[in-house]
Amino acid sequence: MKKASDFAYERAARMIDAEPAAVRAIFEVEAAGRFFNPDGSVPRRFEPHHFPREHWAALGFFPKKGQAPWRASLALSTSKRRAMYEKAKSIDPELARRASSWGAPQIMGFNHEDAGFLSASEMVERFHDPAMQIKGFVNLVASWGLDSAIRSHDWYAFALRYNGNGKAADYAGKIEAAYRRASGKRSRVVLRVGSRGSDVAALQEALARLDLLPADGVDGSFGPLTLAAVEEFQKIHGLNVDGVVGAKTWEEVREYSDPKQRKSPPQTQETGLDRFERKASQWLAALFAGGSGSHIIATMSDNVEVIGLSVGAIVVLAILALIARELYRRRSA
């Protein structure tokens, strides 16, 4: 089974002036599929609802009345999908490939231009080289304007565009975890308009030291004045002028920050495990601070999306926790 080399990630990263570890992390999370099938073919998933509607009957694709075509497509078995693809290919090979997603990154054939290929057929042929699957993926995200987010380690902005609103935070945490594995480093928190807190204040102090922000503008709130100062700083230092303080801007800003701040650990982005540990500590604090059963259940229920349990399971755990707390108190008495 062929795999991509480290050089393939390095070459792809150079295309968008990003770290190879950042590209590897995103590819690991967003392209979790195989580069190749056991027989050496490029993985394919045919989506009949993307094939011309006038041929649906010939494919045997009949969405129910009132049913969204994409939902009907989602319900298809692998064998049915394979048979439909072969029929579609006999009608029009290029259109069949356009209506399918390909390779580890599962790039839809109709996105071939954004991925850097003249046609879906060319993309499929070139995808027999794993390095081309990575390159196509990087071309695609650059075409969608996500290369800046990769350089900035702005995983949330990347996931928001690539995965949609519903799972952006979850995917951002997964990418950060993958980046830590690939690089051994943590990504600093990304600041933008609306951000608040000590990291914003540290940023503002550095900008004020450079006379890009008035001293009374150091208030820990990223507003219009801070935005203008950040954009000016980025312009001076030859950075991408987007007003977002990501990895590369932080690297430059840190040189002008207070020496004490440079020694203190910066706030970093969270992974799913980080969020779980933080939420778990809140739950334990509620438990051992003597909170009521309803308070503990409410605290745990707030974390359903983090720990992946149903509310019913959380109620059971909360009851067990209350019993454990009572036993702990009796033993300590």
Q: Given pLDDT bands bounded at 50, 70 and 90, which one contains residue 256?
A: confident
Q: Given pLDDT bands bounded at 50, 70 and 90, which one contains residue 95?
A: very high
User: Would you list the DSSP string of 127-141?
Assistant: TTSHHHHHHHHHHHH
Instruction: Give pLDDT, residue 132.
Output: 94
pLDDT at 289 over 70: no
Closest-CA residue to 137 (of 108, 168, 96): 108
HSE of 100 in the Cβ direction (CA atoms, 13 Å)? 27
Q: DSSP secondary-structure letter at 50?
A: G
What's the whole-number average pLDDT of the chain?
Answer: 83
What Cα–Cα distance (Å) separates residue 189 from each residue in 186, 233, 258, 285? 9, 18, 18, 26
Helix (H, G, I), strand (E, B) or coil at 194: coil
Tokens of 3: 């795999």
**Lowest-confidence pick of 73-87, 191-205, 283-297:** 283-297
Q: What percent of the chain has pLDDT over 90?
A: 45
Q: Give per-residue pLDDT as tens, 136-186.
A: 999 999 999 998 889 888 898 898 888 877 788 888 899 999 999 999 988
- 328 vs 269 pLDDT, higher one: 269
Instruction: Give pLDDT, residue 306.
Output: 44
- Listed in order, strand segments (DSSP E) in 181-243 are none
Q: Are 272 and 173 in contact (CB under 8 A)?
A: yes
Measure the CA–CA gap between 185 and 244, rounded to whole angstroms. Answer: 20
Q: Given pLDDT bands bounded at 50, 70 and 90, which one contains residue 187?
A: confident
**Angle CA(136)–CA(138)–CA(139) in degrees, nearest 5?**
65
Instruction: Give pLDDT, residue 196.
Output: 86
pLDDT at 2 over 50: yes
Q: Give per-residue pLDDT as tens, 11-30.
A: 889 998 888 999 999 888 88
- 331 vs 252 pLDDT, higher one: 252
**Order of strands, sheet of 100-102, starting from the edge strand that comes earlier in the sequence:** 44-46, 100-102, 107-108
Instruction: Give pLDDT, residue 88.
Output: 98
**Lowest-confidence pick of 59-68, 159-168, 205-214, 308-317:** 308-317
What's the first-to-final CA gap in the chain, in angstroms?
A: 62
